[in-house]
Amino acid sequence: MYKVEELKTMLFIDIETASSHADYNEWLDSLPSNSNMKSWWDEKCKAIRQERPDLIKLNEEGLYNTQSPLYPEWARLVCISMGQIKFNELDEPVDFKVRTFSGDEKQMLEEFLGVLGTIFSKVPSIKIVGHYIKGFDIPFICRKAMMLGVKLPHQLHMQKIKPWDNCLLDTAEIWKFGGWTSAKLGVVCESLGIPSPKEQMEGGEVSSNYWKGNLDQIIQYCERDVKATGNVLLRLSGMTVLPFES
């Protein structure tokens, strides 16, 4: 499906997010007296219940604790992992190099986007790859950057870029193969016989683990997602997948 030359110019990305505060009441207490965010959250909850009938019984507090990590206006970035497949002189995949950014949100974004901008300047043809990266990871990063006053590289000014000219490659779209539906990364991995990244944690558990102080486990989970996405493209390209320990 993809040639080695194409895989060499792919940068795999994944993010993990958590609620902006440890719980709903702490978030309410943090709001300025003139804030309308409580009202906006109430409206968001109505929309969530309409889209997700299985969540209809959850009140605003319950939805904050479980759903707010999906929305940058009510969430925080926990970490960003980026990785690249390394090949030997025979063009065989031999390693997967991963770097993770974490800590203060603004500093994290400045560092990550600075590195990304440098990569774009050196390799203009680089593709940013992830699972549901077009619908979640990159929009979340961009919106958070705007909220925190962090400059985006022009390659991420998606509102100005034609869909066929953008730098994003979404493995969820690839897995559709022209069909209507795709699948979660863990499902794709198991279907292809690739080790699943979801063995130790699920996405819905990230926020609670973050507020319990389990950042190292979250970073490991994020890096496993990045490696799993790389393995999906290796398998689809008829190449040997890499172990997570590499």
Least confident range of 23-32, 197-206, 208-217, 237-246: 197-206
The answer to whether the CB of 19 falls within 8 A of the CB of 74 is: yes
Give the per-residue pLDDT at 161: 83
**What share of the chain in percent tops pLDDT 90?**
90
pLDDT range class, residue 199, cuts 50, 70, 90: low
Q: What is the predicted pLDDT for the residue at 165?
A: 81
Mean pLDDT is lowest, of 50-59, 118-127, 172-181, 189-198, for 189-198
pLDDT tens per residue across span 152-198: 999 999 888 887 788 999 999 999 999 999 999 999 999 999 987 76
Output the pLDDT for position 158. 86
For range 22-47, the mean pLDDT: 96
Long-range contacts of 35-41 (CB under 8 A, 24+ apart): 37/73, 37/74, 40/73, 41/74
**Residue 246: its pLDDT value, please?**
44
Q: Which domains does the chain have, with CATH numbers?
A: 4-236 (3.30.420.10)
Measured between alpha carbons, how far is 172 from 184 in angstroms, rounded to an integer?
A: 8
Residue 139: φ, ψ to 5°: -60, -40
- What average pLDDT score do residues 57-85 get? 96
CA pair distance 68, 72, nearest whole angstrom: 8
pLDDT cut 70: percent of the chain above it: 98
Least confident of 79-83, 155-159, 211-215: 155-159
Q: Is the pLDDT of residue 227 over 70?
A: yes
Would you state the structure tokens that stand for residue 93, as one six-digit string?
A: 């995949």
Q: What pTM value is reported for the model?
A: 0.94
In the structure, what pLDDT confidence band is assigned to residue 84 with cuts at 50, 70 and 90?
very high
Show the tokens assigned to 211: 């507020």
**Residue 245 has what pLDDT?**
66
